[in-house]
Amino acid sequence: MAKERRELLYFADGPESHTIEAYESKGGYTALRKALLEMDPDDIIEEIKRSGLKGRGGAAFPTGRKWSFIPKDHPGPKYVVDNADEGEPGTFKDRELLYKTPHLVLEGMILAGRAIGAREGYMYLRYEYLWIFPRIKRAIQEAYRRGYLGKNILKSGFDFDIYVYLGAGAYIAGYAVSTLESLEGKRPYPRLKPPRTSQVGLYGSPTAVNNVETHANVPLIISKGADWYSQMGTPESRGTRLFSISGAVERPGVYEFELGSLTLREFIYEVAGVPKGTEILGVFPGGLSSEILTPDELDVPMTHEGLKRVGSTLGSGAVIVLDRSTSALKILRRSIEFFSYESCGKCTPCRDGGNWMTRVLASAERRGYLTAEDVSLLKEITGMMRGKSFCPLGDSVEMVARVFLNKYKDELTQKPVAV
């Protein structure tokens, strides 16, 4: 079995890892010096392209390509947004970076700003991470004092400022276009695309929105080179990846592995450990929005292409292990209830469909099983929801219900045995 490869988490080791002194002692901000003094903005984008870095928030879009879409000749401002609204159930790997090595994330944001020609960056921090805010604020102040933020950074003529904006606890605000709406002081309703955020983003200006872990990878790529980075992983899944694992395991937490170096089963049983006598019901490999896998589907490489072959996704890297101490019906009901509660209400199929399914499942849970009429109704509702919402939340509701009905129908419809 593969061992951890702690490239990002290397900077998170040590009790004072959050300080600028600890970060600099491990090579922090050398990438920024290199980018400002030895590279043009186009060189930075090209290096990120060659590395093969894909977004770590769930969509897995190539980061270098996203930055290249920002128009170079735009006459107005451009922006960098760090999406730190880590709201996907089971996901807590960004929290590890923000709390233990905030400077790694800040340096990545500054490099992104240099690459696209932005002068301002915004970190959109989920409200539940309010307790991390003082540490991030301190890191920003340290970066200003060292001359890594502000005017004429390292006497290069480049200016860049970073601001932190606290969300208000809405799951939907983690969707990039909804993040921008919230940053502008509006309700986090999703925007219709196109136009893309690279053309019309924050305040109507070109904006590069990236996940915390995505930004954290940028300093490593710039300092060590795209060739070094691209040698890790597989052709479709480059680099290392942070995985958060929780549920029915002995050693929950955040781990970092080279992509493709181990299977999902190895990660669960050999790394995190499963308590003796525990029978696995299923595993969400990439957060609640990824398709659940049954115990016989776990021998799959933890890569984008590997999980795609079994109909799921790597998503946010959140592995949720479920055992049979909880029924499939209860898991389905709670999953649908979560998505229904978090719906912004803008789209009728998502707003009404999720609520309708929640009521059907709650009634079935009290009874102990789904009737044939329940199954028929749930399938009818999912048929009216798929592909009919502005954002992926409606599709997530539909997907969870559809997959559970396909994979766990016998368990969901089995009547409890009378004692």
**pLDDT one-digit tens code per residue, 81-133:** 999 999 999 999 999 999 999 999 999 999 999 999 999 999 999 999 999 99
Phi-psi region of 407 (alpha: psi -120 to 50; beta: other; left: phi over 0): alpha
Pairing, β 280-284 against β 237-238: unpaired
Rounded Cα distance between 413 and 371, Å, is 6
Please, how many CA atoms are within 13 Å of residue 57, restricted to the half-sphere of its CB? 21
Locate 393 and state its tokens. Answer: 């939340």
Q: Give pLDDT, residue 59.
A: 86
In three-state secondary structure terms, 71 is coil
20 CB-near residues (< 8 Å, 6+ apart): 28, 103, 139, 142, 143, 146
337 CB-near residues (< 8 Å, 6+ apart): 358, 361, 362
pLDDT in tens, 156-170: 999 999 999 999 999
Query: Which of 219, 223, 198 lies closest to 116 in space, CA to CA?
Result: 198
Q: Give pLDDT, residue 419.
A: 53
Is residue 38 within 8 Å of residue 44, measured between CB atoms?
no
Rounded to whole angstroms, what are the CA distances from 338 to 344, 376, 408, 415? 12, 22, 20, 25
Q: Give pLDDT, residue 192.
A: 83
Instruction: Give the predicted TM-score (pTM) of the model.
Output: 0.96
CATH 3.20.190.10 for the 234-323 domain, yes or no: no
Alpha helix ranges (H) inside 101-173: 102-116, 133-146
Alpha helix ranges (H) inside 275-391: 304-309, 328-342, 348-367, 372-385
- pLDDT < 70 regions, the chain: 1, 418-419
Phi-psi region of 164 (alpha: psi -120 to 50; beta: other; left: phi over 0): beta
Rounded Cα distance between 321 and 292, Å, is 10
CATH 3.10.20.600 segments of the chain = 234-323
Pairing, β 233-234 against β 237-238: antiparallel
Could you say which of 3.40.50.11540, 3.40.605.10, 3.40.50.1980, 3.40.50.2300 is the CATH number of the domain covering 9-231?
Answer: 3.40.50.11540
Pairing, β 120-125 against β 79-84: parallel
CATH 3.40.50.11540 segments of the chain = 9-231
Amino acid at site 77: P
Query: Which of 221, 253, 266 lies closest to 7 in space, CA to CA?
Result: 221
CATH 1.20.1440.230 segments of the chain = 328-413
The strand order across the sheet containing 240-247 reads: 253-258, 240-247, 318-323, 280-284
Q: Give pLDDT, residue 2.
A: 75
CATH number of the 328-413 domain: 1.20.1440.230
Q: Give pLDDT, residue 418.
A: 62
Query: Which of 413, 336, 415 lies closest to 372 in space, CA to CA?
Result: 413
Alpha helix ranges (H) inside 156-224: 176-183, 212-224
Pairing, β 79-84 against β 280-284: unpaired
